[in-house]
A and B are shown apart, each in its own frame.
Chain A
Amino acid sequence: MTGEHDIAPARQARIRRPSLAHRTAWGIGRNIAEVLANEELAARQGFLQRIEPRVRLLAVLLFAVTASLLHSPWSLAAMLALAATLAAASQVRVRSFMRKVWGSAGIFVILLAAPAATRLVTPGRVLVSLGALSLTVPGVLGAVTLVLRVVAAAGIALLIVWTMRWNDLLSALSQLRLPDVIVATLAMAQKQIVSLMRTVEQIHLARESRTLSAGTTAENRDWVIGRMAFVVHKSVRTADEVYDAMLARGFDGTMRLLPRDRGRARDWFYLLAALTFCAAMMALDRGALR
């Protein structure tokens, strides 16, 4: 009897654990919701959203390259502060911004950088004595620099994700002379990704709704692989249908360019300010190191 009582809670816990189909459907649903939420954020009338897309993209690339060239933790912290300030000016809550940045990139890089702070990986003057795991000065500085660099870069990248609508991004890429065939493929890919994600979510929800047992690992694996094969079929079939639809609408092989904006004075002023800020950061960073 004791044995049964001991085993029962474990069995119940196993039954209560969400099924594979549930977890996958939930994960995909969260991603779809994220895409929609990003579009909603990017549609707000904030500071960055008013800047012409091409200028916005160039400035973000400039910030990303600058963050990769900085050496001092202080300079990198300033880049993160800049990203947070731009996000706040663009009607993004700083708390959400920081939670996303530290939650997605920060925690992982802290775990990854921690061993590098010890003398096992980075020898040097000991800062905190912990035997074989003593923290060294170059180790800690290197770890802090890496964490701040990765988090600052993630914050800068998030400015694209949260303040640029997908169409604006495509327009920017088109204006930056990316071949139209690539822009068209990107545009179509984004729509098809969301469509396929919905299909896969529905497949998993359908399985979740009509199964009682969680199934064995082998059964679940066979089912997942079968659904992947279905997705391949659907992709190829849809590609043919899309092409037929393009032909039916008069597609003759030439790509229509997205409308190109001419930047206004304030857009160029923003780019100039971004350039000045990055140049100043580089000068301060190199000065701070001497």
Chain B
Amino acid sequence: MHIPDGYLGPQTYAILDVAIIPIWGIAASKVKKSLKTRQVPLMALGAAFSFVIMMFNVPVIGGSTGHAVGATLIAVLLGPWAAVISVSIALVVQALLFGDGGITAIGANCFNMAVVMPFVGYYTYRLIAGDGARLARKVAASGVASYLAIVAASIVAGVELGIQPLIAHTASGQPLYAPYPLTVAVPAMALEHLFFFGWVEAIVTMGVVAALGRQDSALLAMKPAARPLRWLWAGLGGLVLLTPIGVLAPGTAWGEWSAGEMGSRVGFVPEGMSKVGGLWSAAIPDYAPAFIKNPLVGYLVAAVVGSALIIALAWGVAAFLTRGAADDPAELTAV
């Protein structure tokens, strides 16, 4: 997921390089408040751990191996703000000591792997594991959280790469940086993480959380955060408000073509597709409710309805899983 130099234009990398500075500032301030002077060795060791975990070859299936990023694991162990600093430092060391990842793209790489991943991972973990869950639930929560976090980060990276042909090209249409549009870049990044790297991340995170839970459960104990869900709701609201951006992307997302589009692209419609294509009619097809004419408003309404349904479903599953669960004593404060 490391984006090297040259793939992102200055409009993108400069914004992310500047944006990451206040995030680091807030992270440093949050960490300092809770960890005091112990922060330096702990952050350094967190960074070292983050760096080294990427070097383990994890056997997956059929002799293939993969690498994990470990950002969700670090967020679960140290808290999301501490993970921001640890993973950022690991990425800076990788870029400056090993030349892995770019210099101008440091902001983008840190944003994707040291901000998006820890926060998505941590709050998904908190949402599923709750404040005092049993180990089995923590393990399951860490697996789901790490999977979603790396997929989310890969989609953000895909968007960063996919907007390059839109914002930086010559008069003749020659792309100046990453050449593939959103319809190619986002699915390309997301699919490899949905089908391979996401599973590696989940297997590693679940395995380590399970091992730590058995050996030293204090490492996984967290004091309930003051209002942990407040920021989650705010983030969700922000994402819902941003959904109309999707309307800006031209054409259909890669691989999501209808039978008609498939026919026009390849000259025929596969038999299976034409047979089963009409079996299910979505309630809100193409994220556009029939009674709303404005596509931007339609996207927004679809996002609100979809989020509400998913929350209700997750709430129901969590209520079912947590019936009768007792809280663990809280020992450490995650930051």
Mark A residues whose CB is within 8 Å of B: 20, 23-24, 27-28, 31, 34-35, 38, 60-61, 64-65, 67-69, 71, 100, 104-105, 109, 113, 116, 121-124, 137-139, 141-143, 145-146, 149-154, 156-158, 160-161, 166, 169, 179, 181-182, 184-186, 188-193, 195-197, 200, 217, 220-222, 224-229, 231-233, 235-236, 238-240, 242-243, 246, 251, 253, 289
Contacts of A153 in B (CB 8 A): 4-6, 102-104
Whether B96 is near chain A, meaning CB under 8 Å from some CB there, is yes
Contacts of B172 in A (CB 8 A): 124, 137-138
Minimum CB–CB distance for B253 against chain A, Å = 16
Interchain residue pairs with CB less than 8 A apart (23): A20-B59, A65-B10, A68-B6, A105-B4, A116-B179, A122-B173, A146-B7, A150-B6, A152-B6, A189-B47, A189-B93, A192-B44, A193-B48, A193-B90, A193-B93, A224-B59, A225-B207, A225-B208, A228-B53, A232-B208, A233-B216, A242-B44, A243-B37
Contacts of B174 in A (CB 8 A): 122, 124, 138-139, 141-142, 145
Whether B77 is near chain A, meaning CB under 8 Å from some CB there, is yes
Whether B19 is near chain A, meaning CB under 8 Å from some CB there, is no
Q: Please, which residue of chain A has its CB at the minimum distance from the CB of B218?
A: A236
**By the criterion CB–CB under 8 Å, are A231 and B103 in contact?**
no
**Once the chains are docked, how many angstroms separate the CA of A197 from the CA of B57?**
13
**Once the chains are docked, how many angstroms separate the CA of A270 from the CA of B219?**
51
Interface residue count on the B side (C-beta < 8 Å):
73
Whether B46 is near chain A, meaning CB under 8 Å from some CB there, is yes
**By the criterion CB–CB under 8 Å, are A217 and B10 in contact?**
no
Whether B115 is near chain A, meaning CB under 8 Å from some CB there, is no
Minimum CB–CB distance for B158 against chain A, Å = 14
**By the criterion CB–CB under 8 Å, are A228 and B207 in contact?**
yes
Known: A20-B57, A138-B172, A197-B55. A226 touches B211 (CB 8 A): yes
Contacts of A188 in B (CB 8 A): 40-41, 44-45
9 nearest CB pairs, A to B = A225-B207, A153-B5, A188-B44, A229-B211, A150-B6, A116-B179, A192-B48, A138-B174, A242-B41
Known: A122-B173, A251-B37. A68 touches B5 (CB 8 A): yes
Main secondary structure of the interface of B (DSSP, over half): helix
Whether B129 is near chain A, meaning CB under 8 Å from some CB there, is no
Main secondary structure of the interface of A (DSSP, over half): helix
Known: A64-B104, A225-B208. A124 touches B99 (CB 8 A): no
**By the criterion CB–CB under 8 Å, are B6 and A149 in contact?**
yes
**By the criterion CB–CB under 8 Å, are A224 and B58 in contact?**
yes
